[in-house]
Amino acid sequence: MNQSTPLERVIISGGGTGGHIYPAIAIANEIKKRNPKVSILFVGAQGRMEMTKVPEAGYKIEGLWISGIQRKLTLDNLAFPFKLISSMMKAKRIIKDFKPQVAIGVGGYASGPLLKMATRMNIPTLIQEQNAFAGLTNKWLADKVDAVCVATPNMERFFPKEKIVITGNPVRSDIIGAESKREAGLAHFGLSATKPVLLILGGSLGARTINETMLQDVNKYQQAGVQVLWQIGKFYFSNIQAQLSQMDTAGIHPHEFIREMDLAYASADVVISRAGALSVSELCLVGKPTVFVPSPNVSEDHQTQNALQLVNVNAALMVKDVEAKQSLATVTLDLLADAAKQQALGTAIKAQGRPSATADIVDQVERIIES
């Protein structure tokens, strides 16, 4: 998009999880690529992971005293009205001092007060919704913002139809084209090119059900000649590693966290994954046949909705969390043994990918400023 007004000052707000933070950083990077002299300020929630992850990415961040509402009576809930008022006042000061041309919200606690105040102060505003089931903050903001960028179709039940633009989710640039790196990926992780590779992803912190199920079924995968590249996650790594040390682990490659995700995707024949928005978007781009095990421990069960967007168009398989210990190995081994099914799922999921998502979102940012 040709832009007559260069972006000089941009606020990006939100966070709480990697699923919010990494898309926000991707948007910031695209804005900076187009406008090298731009000043970008992030606004997050005090004590949340964005307060460390954003500075690590090279951007400044301000923190608001804000948190979510719990589903039971807690001191945090009683303090919520005071936190909200405090955050709205601080957001107003930040906007007055920084004078942004646009405010972008990516979901999470902090984006609520910041974007609400920006709309009151007539700052152009845009929100980005990563999930197939919209978050509470974005639903609260939708009526007043100028544009809503979404990852999936059929979001009119949450947002005004005339504001919706389907862009997909921003992902790390190294994920695009990962399929060409298979040889490098196998070498990096010490995997054989003659045996199938199963990649296990439960998020950076880990997924208890997936980890316990994999531990239970290690022998089944070994007997089938399957190599397992297993991201266990920070919370579970020590415990799982201790149990694995008492077992035959031939073909099992455990990792606390995998940083080289492009190489991991390139190595994999089949993937087992939670269904967070970012994981779903990445798997669409790399076109990998996937068995989703949605986490039940998220608001509005949105991971199941994310997975169903693909399952309903025959682009992925799904095993419910409560059924994983009984059926995950069977479903996965059947898929690993069926090359035609892998091909069909890989082709179908790749058709759902949106590799230009980040650029399309920034196009919308430029559009609302111009209009």
| Known binding-site residue numbers for UDP-N-acetyl-alpha-D-glucosamine | 17-19, 131, 172, 204, 258, 277-282, 303
Pairing mode of beta strands 147-150, 39-45: unpaired
> By C-alpha distance, which of 75, 72, 71, 24 is closest to 45?
24
Lookup result for tokens 């059929």:
154
Cα separation, 354 vs 297, whole angstroms: 27
Q: Residue 45 is which amino acid?
A: A
Tell which phi-psi region holds residue 61, choosing left (phi > 0), alpha (psi between -120 and 50) or beta: beta
Instruction: Say if residue 45 is exposed, middle or buried (CB neighbours under 10 Å; 0-12, 13-18, 19+).
Output: buried
Which amino acid, one-letter code, is at 317? L
Q: How many CA atoms lie within 13 A of 284 on its CB side?
A: 28
Binding site per annotation, positions: 17-19, 131, 172, 204, 258, 277-282, 303
Contacts of 322 (CB under 8 A, 6+ apart): 296
Give the SS3 label for residue 343: helix
